[in-house]
Amino acid sequence: MTSRHLVVTGGAGFIGSALVHHIIEHTDDIVTVVDSLTYAGNRASLEGLPRTRVRLEVQDITDALEMDDIIRDADAVIHCAAESHNDNSLADPSPFVQTNLVGTYTLLESVRRHGVRLHHVSTDEVFGDLALDDPQRFTETTPYHPSSPYSATKAGSDLLVGAWVRSFGVRATLSICSNNYGPRQHVEKFIPRQITNLLDGVRPRLYGTGANVRDWIHADDHAAAVLRILDAGEIGETYLVGADGERSNREVVRAILRHMGRAEDDYELVADRPGHDLRYAIDASRLCDELGWTPRYGDFEAGLEDTIRWYRENEDRWRPQKAATEAMYRAAGQ
Ligand code: NAD
Ligand code: DAU
Domain with residue 145: its CATH number is: 3.40.50.720
What percentage of the chain reaches a pLDDT higher than 90? 98
What percentage of the chain reaches a pLDDT higher than 70? 100
Identify whether 171 is part of a domain. yes
Give the pLDDT confidence of 111-146 residue by residue, as tens digits: 999 999 999 999 999 999 999 999 999 999 999 999
Identify whether 291 is part of a domain. yes
CA gap 79, 7 in Å, rounded: 8
Euclidean distance between the first and the last CA atom of the chain, given in angstroms as a whole number: 50
Q: Which amino acid type is present at position 104? A: T
Site to probe by mutation for ligand 2, drawn from 100, 157, 190, 304 as the one with most ligand atoms within 8 Å of Cβ, is 190
Q: Is 123 in the pocket of ligand 1 (CB under 6 A)?
A: yes
Residue 334 binned pLDDT confidence (cut-offs 50, 70, 90): confident
Residues in the chain, overall count: 334
Q: Tell me what pLDDT residue 209 has.
A: 97
Q: Answer for the pair 21, 222: CB distance below 8 angstroms, yes or no.
A: no
With a Cβ cut-off of 6 Å, ligand 2 is lined by 84-86, 123-125, 178-179, 189-190, 193, 205-207, 212, 214, 249, 273, 280
Give the pLDDT confidence of 29-87 residue by residue, as tens digits: 999 999 999 999 999 999 999 999 999 999 999 999 999 999 999 999 999 999 999 99
CA gap 74, 231 in Å, rounded: 15
Q: Tell me what pLDDT residue 1 has.
A: 61
pLDDT over 70 at 182, yes or no:
yes
| Cα 37 to ligand 2 centre (Å) | 21
Domain count, the chain: 1
Pairing type for strands 246-248 and 213-215 reads antiparallel
Identify whether 63 is part of a domain. yes
Q: Where does residue 247 rank: exposed (0-12), middle (13-18), buried (19+ CB within 10 A)?
A: middle
Q: Tell me what pLDDT residue 304 has.
A: 97
Residue 173 binned pLDDT confidence (cut-offs 50, 70, 90): very high
Identify whether 210 is part of a domain. no
Q: Tell me what pLDDT residue 298 has.
A: 84
| Cα 151 to ligand 1 centre (Å) | 12
* Gyration radius of the chain's alpha carbons: 19
Identify whether 178 is part of a domain. yes
Site to probe by mutation for ligand 2, drawn from 80, 187, 189 as the one with most ligand atoms within 8 Å of Cβ, is 189
Q: How many H-runs (helices) and E-runs (strands) does the chain carry?
A: 12, 13
Question: Average pLDDT in the 4-21 region?
Answer: 98
pLDDT over 90 at 227, yes or no:
yes
Which strands form 76-79's sheet, in the order they lie side by side?
Answer: 54-57, 30-34, 5-9, 76-79, 117-123, 172-177, 238-241
Identify whether 32 is part of a domain. yes
Phi, psi of 308 (to 5 degrees): -60, -45
Q: Tell me what pLDDT residue 177 has.
A: 98
CA gap 189, 273 in Å, rounded: 13
| Cα 41 to ligand 1 centre (Å) | 8
Identify whether 319 is part of a domain. no
Q: Tell me what pLDDT residue 200 has.
A: 98
Residue 41 Cα distances to 76, 180, 215, 272, angstroms: 22, 16, 24, 27
**Which residue, by CA, sits nearest to atom 21 of ligand 2?**
190
Query: How many other C-beta atoms can be found within 10 angstroms of the C-beta atom of residue 185?
Result: 26
Who's near 180: CB < 8 A, 6+ residues apart?
14, 15, 18, 216, 217, 218, 219, 222
| Cα 84 to ligand 2 centre (Å) | 10
Give the pLDDT confidence of 234-274 residue by residue, as tens digits: 999 999 999 999 999 999 999 999 999 999 999 999 999 99
- Nearest ligand to the CA of 11 is 1
CA gap 236, 162 in Å, rounded: 7
| Cα 100 to ligand 1 centre (Å) | 9
Residue 319 binned pLDDT confidence (cut-offs 50, 70, 90): very high
Q: Is 49 in the pocket of ligand 1 (CB under 6 A)?
A: no
Q: Which domain holds residue 37?
A: 5-185+217-244+275-298
Identify whether 234 is part of a domain. yes
Annotated catalytic sites, by residue? 124-125, 150
Residue 13 Cα distances to 27, 36, 44, 290, 304, angstroms: 20, 10, 10, 29, 19
Q: In whole numbers, what is the pLDDT of the chain averaged over residues?
A: 97
**Which residue, by CA, sits nearest to atom 44 of ligand 1?**
123
The model carries a pTM of 0.98
